[in-house]
Structure 1
Amino acid sequence: MGSESPGTLDAIELSLLSRYLAHTSRTIPFDDLDLYALSVGIPNLAFNSKPVMSSLIALAAACKSHDVVNTAQSPLAGQTIMEVQRLLELAENHHRASLQYIQEAVSNSIWYDNVLANAALMVLYASASHSIRVRLAAIARRSGKELPNNVLPQHSQWITFTRAAHTASSAVLSGLLNADMNRNATTSPTVYKSPNPTSAILTPQNGPSEDTKRLFIPLVTSTYGRALESLRRKVESVADSSKSQEGPGLHNLDLDACLNTLPTLEKCAFSALSGECSDEEPNLSNDTPIVSGEYSRVSSWVANYMLSVTSMTAPKALRRTIMSFLNEAPAEYLNLVQSVLDSSSVVAYTGDWVARGSPKGEMQPLDTTHLLAMDIFAHWLVLVMLLDGVWWIGGIGRWELGQIVSLMKTQELPNQPADTKETWWPESMYLVNMELMPET
């Protein structure tokens, strides 16, 4: 199943492996299970699996790119950009090799540890790579400088890889959950026993920076309920109007996808803003049920780690609650969003949207369904802005929302009178966020 040894690593790869073990694997965990999986379990898999090692090195390279920019006297100095370019190119090469493996192996594996571990690393890498590109693009836009094309944000690829990794692992995990529930009907439950209990004091990067926690979250919390009610009325009104025009028995599948996404967004927002998520490291006692490797083709720690990070068990970390939207939203809906993101290109450093092949400043009008899809996505991105304290997410929420705000200014929003004095909620949250926490 492609579990061959990674072979000889060169000096740069060895350096990145060392960095992952000493640094990267300890900046991501939220709890002891995370810490074991990332710092012990996955590295041991990688030593016997070339694809897992490739994903590990790709994530370490993205992490180093963040640190290079953070410590540089000038983030856009030529030497800094060249170093980041080299790191991102190396990371992409390793990521592509790993992606090819997971696509080939997921359907015929008899032992899924490598597939699932690979998927988890791919999600982290996709976000980390996009995050550093977004940060550099934001800095370049403010300073009026240009960046090499291979350093710029790559549109919706971060969504594609996040969803692909989830799809690749969800079938395996669902099977494990079903088997475990059937087994536990007649046997006592297996419990989590930390393979390597640690007393290390972790600093979980759960989500918001201190300024966001103090200044921005209270504002979002006090306004999101009314905003989501308004969004629901808008989507339902358009759907009702469409059905009346199409006649009985006919359905606009894209509009149905938008309607079916609303409960996912509402659940995500409620969980994120109602206090259900914890800022503190959870207490993983020996009473926590898990799936046992004895009954499956997945090791216990792999199964439980993946059930947690994919939110198939109730997520506690704010970052997992919010990002679970990408896993739980209907695929048809995400296809609508990505078709817009990928059919339009951002003119870096200005934030203007330009349709491919059209003159600067001209944007082809979107149909009502695509506008509704982007409206829903923009509301979710307000939640993603709450995760600015997580290094591998950082400014993704604000950057992506800024692009959509620019896009929507060129469009006529459905069911919104032109003379209305009410500001579109995602835009108002974006402007307030920029005012409260200027980009550095």
Structure 2
Amino acid sequence: MPTSTETMERSSSSSSPTSAFPPGFRSRRSHAKSRNGCLTCKQRRKKCDEKRPCCTLCETSLRTCTYASEQRSSKSSESSATATSQLPSPVPSPPGSLGGGSLLTLPTREVLSRSPVPSSAPVLSLVAVGDVLSHVTDADLYFHFLNHTCKAAPSWQKDRILLQVGIAKLALDSEVASHSVLALAAACLCCDAISQGGVDPETVRHILDLGLEHHTLALEQMRTMTSRPREADTQPLLASALLLVPFALAFQHIQHWILCAKGMQVPDLLTPRDTILLLRGIRTTIVALNSNRIRSGSSTSKSPWETMFSAPPTDSDECAAMPERAHSMFAILAATFHQASSQLRCRIENALAGAHVDESTASVSDAYEILNDIMCSTFTDYPKVDIPFEYASFFSVTPDSLLAQAPGWLKNFIFQRPRPTQAEPLSRSFLAFFSSAPQTYVDLLLPLLDPRPDTMAADDRELTAAEVLALDVYAHWLVLMLLLEKEAWWVGDFPFVALQGLMARYGDRLWGAFYAPPQQWWPAGMLEVAARLRQWK
């Protein structure tokens, strides 16, 4: 009688799927369904190879590859190891957070409301889950850049593609570009969380500190690269410089919101110092790359997508008007800028007619001419006229220079001439003001915008005529920047808060010499209009 063991062996043998087939027959392997594939492949019903940060199918078809957010394990050691292994770039995880308070100069004490970031792209689930926001990793920031930041930053569809494909791919190959991408994504994530409301300000501060650390690391590596430029550094240098400008401006108004939300005392004036220095640093970087020659015999290969997007941009008459032209203040500024500009010109000419005219006053006059060109090109009936100042002049690229080796899509993005047409964004032409302003004017203005030491409760010293006019021109520039709060999320509340702080610090020393009621001064009057419009929204 067979034992139970023998019976089980015969039963197992008879139920084996290979027992009914002749020797040498190879049965088909059962397919193990992938449950960790990217969301894009799942929607397309394609087999995903689960390659991170971008699967092979999405990479070859130039699609956005997005993975579902990993559920955090209760074991902190396993969670930390998993997050570290999923980094999308060679950037190590930050060892700690850097406090950004020392860089701030901030004005009012009321919490300012923010409008949601204008984008058709859905905000990642990271923003919707408060407890996840406090555990943001570099991988989370990279995917937020792919799915939201690069779609919300520019207004041109072609620029969006270049950021989502060109810059995103460069971040996987270059450490400095990766730091710049992650810094900008952190700022965007902060703005998204603020716009949705109900977020803990300490959580926003944690994300902003993470972005600030990436920003600092990118700047340090860029300094090293510019001291010894190489051909391989051309793309990372140019791309990183462009990404760090919006972060520097966003950092100011995000940190202001954090301090106000926590009920902390804030300084009395926002400063665009870092933004201005970065804008001028871009020009310095371009000049340095254009003056350095490549080594003989070196050549660069072009990828198919690089060739596809290297054609010069063309104007399209079918594009809809930019959001800033639909801003409620656009018509008001267009109707009043002529008189304001004429009055500012008269004040500068009166100063130039004085007995003691120095280089500073002359530089303010040059800066005014640049700003007036921008205003005329923005609000006149012939918007397709090029802005007639130095920044818009054609840049001659030396054929055998490092700059000439940059891909066409990146050079087109950098050298786009600021022409504020109905279908083009205004941010490029407005920021071009500080790229073109004389260095003497910048050196005169920036110390006036720096935060005051705690020991100086009030700075009551008498301003020179050149300093008053420098602040006057700067205030008119801030009025223009009010139009960008819808177009550029990274501008946000900066112009409004900065203009409030400018008036709070300098008061009648700035406009008292010219106008009896301050509302007759154009920047003060437009600030009052902007404040009332915010109350009605």
Q: TM-score, normalised by structure 2?
A: 0.62
Cα 1:165–1:84 shift into 2, 3 Å: farther
Matches for 1:17-96 after TM superposition, within 5 Å: 17-73=142-198, 80-96=200-216
SS across alignment from 1:47: helix
The alpha carbon displacement at 1:437 in A equals: 2.3
SS across alignment from 1:169: helix
Residue 340 in 1 paired to residue 448 in 2? yes
| Aligned alpha-carbon RMSD (Å) | 3.6
Counterpart of 2:284 in structure 1 is: 168
The residue identity in structure 1 corresponding to 2:284 is: A
Does structure 2 conserve the Cα–Cα contact (< 8 Å) formed by 1:292 and 1:299? no
Q: TM-score, normalised by structure 1?
A: 0.74
The residue identity in structure 2 corresponding to 1:226 is: Q
Does structure 1 conserve the Cα–Cα contact (< 8 Å) formed by 2:205 and 2:258? no
Structure 1, residues 134-167: CA drift from partner, whole Å, max 9, x if none? 4456x65xxxx62387x99863334344324423
The alpha carbon displacement at 1:37 in A equals: 2.2
The residue identity in structure 1 corresponding to 2:366 is: N
The residue identity in structure 1 corresponding to 2:481 is: V
Which of 381, 389, 400 lines up with 2:478 in the alignment? 381
SS across alignment from 2:535: coil
Counterpart Cα distance in 1 of 2:187 and 2:268: 14
Counterpart Cα distance in 2 of 1:420 and 1:72: 37
Cα 1:193–1:276 shift into 2, 3 Å: farther
Cα 1:219–1:332 shift into 2, 3 Å: same
The alpha carbon displacement at 1:223 in A equals: 0.8
Counterpart of 1:403 in structure 2 is: 501
Residue 194 in 1 paired to residue 302 in 2? no
Counterpart Cα distance in 1 of 2:208 and 2:456: 30
Residue 327 in 1 paired to residue 435 in 2? yes
Which of 380, 403, 407 lines up with 1:274 in the alignment? 380
Residue 132 in 1 paired to residue 240 in 2? no
Structure 1, residues 63-113: CA drift from partner, whole Å, max 9, x if none? 11011111122x5xxxx1111111111111111111112222124323211
Q: Which has the higher helix share?
A: 1
Residue 428 in 1 paired to residue 525 in 2? yes
Counterpart Cα distance in 2 of 1:17 and 1:152: 34
Counterpart Cα distance in 2 of 1:18 and 1:193: 24
Counterpart of 2:409 in structure 1 is: 301
Unaligned runs of 5+ in 2: 1-88, 95-135, 293-305, 312-318, 385-395
Counterpart of 1:365 in structure 2 is: 462
The alpha carbon displacement at 1:396 in A equals: 1.2
Counterpart Cα distance in 2 of 1:13 and 1:152: 33
The alpha carbon displacement at 1:32 in A equals: 3.8
* Percent of residue pairs bearing the same amino acid type: 22
Does structure 2 conserve the Cα–Cα contact (< 8 Å) formed by 1:127 and 1:393? yes
Does structure 2 conserve the Cα–Cα contact (< 8 Å) formed by 1:57 and 1:94? yes
Does structure 2 conserve the Cα–Cα contact (< 8 Å) formed by 1:209 and 1:388? no
Which of 407, 422, 425 lines up with 1:317 in the alignment? 425
Does structure 1 conserve the Cα–Cα contact (< 8 Å) formed by 2:290 and 2:398? no
Structure 1, residues 202-238: CA drift from partner, whole Å, max 9, x if none? x99945285xx2x311111111111111101101111
- Which protein is bigger by CA-based radius of gyration? 2
Unaligned runs of 5+ in 1: 177-190, 197-202, 279-289, 345-354
The residue identity in structure 2 corresponding to 1:273 is: F
Counterpart of 2:363 in structure 1 is: 257
Name the count of aligned residue pairs.
372
Residue 120 in 1 paired to residue 242 in 2? yes
Cα 1:67–1:41 shift into 2, 3 Å: same
Cα 1:421–1:147 shift into 2, 3 Å: closer
Does structure 2 conserve the Cα–Cα contact (< 8 Å) formed by 1:62 and 1:129? yes
Counterpart of 1:157 in structure 2 is: 273
The residue identity in structure 2 corresponding to 1:438 is: Q
The residue identity in structure 2 corresponding to 1:218 is: A
